[in-house]
Amino acid sequence: MTLSLSTGSVWKAVDNRIEGVHLVEKLFSSLIDGVELCLIDQKGFEEFELDKKSIKFLKGMKFNSLHTPSREYGKSRQSKKILEKIDKISQIIKLEHVTFHPNHVKDFSALKKFEFKTCIENLACGEMHKGWQFPKEIKAFLEKEKDIGFCFDVSHAMSNGINPKEFLELLGERISCIHLSAIEKEGRENHKFVFNSSKQAQKKIEPVFTFGVPLIIEVALEKEKIPLIKKEISFVRKKLG
């Protein structure tokens, strides 16, 4: 089973995005199979350049992915510039896929000009995310877009009061990977570890462990909690058997 870690999980301990990659390497490289470059903020993305050290590290990983900046994607020059940079990163370190928040994409055909594989992600609760939150609406979209993959975000589903099982059952083989974290109740909440969440939350999340697609640990942490990622990794590994 492939277990990956989002660099967004260590943001609070670093000054920029490339340092996040270095910190993931230093602390967790022997425990994970992949890295998701979380480049969701525009400034972090613009500054981001792979260096020799990160290229060597990431090339040795089995499963790399990238989370795109929160910008509008379509035919604009700005969009093209971002997508070209992502494509270049993909060619250097071989990205298995590139994940977009679908509400940012005004024109999906703009993404198809590139070689990287596009995934969309189900979104958290909130007015801005309408149309991209529930299993049925994601399914309807993916039925029209056969080449687009789906990254299932567990906490986003739970923030909308959806049991993760509903997504797994309805989307099935369209699920390319899973963003793994826990929240306790509906609504907006920081993404937390599964290992120390409540028994009820763990029970809801349980089916994702054996679903058979790469799991990407994506949590929002205060700096002092970052070493606990090791506990989350060993908790998930035990579940995977």
Binding site for Zn ion (CB under 5 A): 153, 179
- Name the region of 220 (left: φ>0; alpha: ψ -120 to 50; beta: rest): beta
State in angstroms the smallest separation of the CB of 101 from Zn ion.
9
Residues sharing a CB contact under 8 Å with residue 231, sequence separation 6 or more, in sequence order: 193, 195, 196
Q: Report phi then psi at 179, rounded to 5.
A: -85, 115
Pick 80 or 104: Cβ nearer Zn ion: 104
Q: How far apart are CA 49 and CA 52, in angstroms?
A: 10
Q: How far apart are CA 110 and CA 113, in angstroms?
A: 6
Pick 25 or 153: Cβ nearer Zn ion: 153
Identify the H or E element spanning 111: none
**Strand pairing of 34-38 and 63-67?**
parallel
Q: How far apart are CA 147 and CA 142, in angstroms?
A: 8
Is the CB of residue 210 less than 8 Å from the CB of residue 240?
yes
Pick 82 or 156: Cβ nearer Zn ion: 156
Pick 71 or 179: Cβ nearer Zn ion: 179
State in angstroms the smallest separation of the CB of 180 from Zn ion.
9
Pick 21 or 179: Cβ nearer Zn ion: 179
Is the CB of residue 171 less than 8 Å from the CB of residue 153?
no
State in angstroms the smallest separation of the CB of 71 from Zn ion.
17
Calculate ∠ Cα 66-94-171, nearest 5°: 55
State in angstroms the smallest separation of the CB of 75 from Zn ion.
26
* Nearest residue to Zn ion, by Cβ distance, number only: 179
Helices (H), 94-198: 135-144, 154-159, 164-171
State in angstroms the smallest separation of the CB of 53 from Zn ion.
26
Is the CB of residue 3 less than 8 Å from the CB of residue 227?
no
State in angstroms the smallest separation of the CB of 123 from Zn ion.
9
State in angstroms the smallest separation of the CB of 56 from Zn ion.
27
